[in-house]
Amino acid sequence: MEVTATAKNIRVSPNKVRLVVDQIKKMQPNDALRILDFVQKSASLPLKKVIASAIANAKNNHNLKEENLTFTEIQVGLGQVFKRYRPISRGRAHSILKRTSNIRVVLEAKEDKTNTPNKSDVSDKKEPKGGYSGAKS
């Protein structure tokens, strides 16, 4: 079961968000939330909110447990770009691009492996008939 949460037009550059995503993408979502409290980047707060929203969607909409959730993907894309101009000498202007990010978090519930095979289910190895016995003569 896949659960998604998105945040659009976050006022942080996508490259800066990807720096934080690279630190947490291999963690469990609960661990990632704890780590993001101590990451001193501007992208950590919006990313934390999106992950918390995805966990809440999994719990409330799909009745999944937090412990079983893992990141399937965390996408960071380019949102709208605000164009501004800075005046320079001789009546000219340089353009300034204020980039925004779209963040998409996909969580998946891993299966509980409570059914372990019994000894009766596992077949015993058979001795080879004749042939090579492994002893040197």
pLDDT at 46: 97
Domains of the chain: 2-109 (3.90.470.10)
- The helix (H) or strand (E) run that includes residue 24 is helix 14-24
pLDDT at 78: 98
Does this model's pTM top 0.85? My answer is: no
Distance between CA atoms of residues 43 and 27, nearest Å: 17
Spell out the residues 6+ positions from residue 19 whose beta carbon is closer than 8 angstroms to its own: 41, 43
pLDDT at 110: 86
> What does 30-83 look like in DSSP terms, one character per residue?
HHHHHHHTT--STTHHHHHHHHHHHHHHHHHHH---GGGEEEEEEEEEEEEEEE
Mean pLDDT of residues grouped by 10 in the chain (137 residues)?
Answer: 96 97 95 96 97 97 94 97 97 98 96 60 61 61
Distance between CA atoms of residues 52 and 32, nearest Å: 10
Return the number of other C-beta atoms located less than 10 Å from residue 114's C-beta: 5
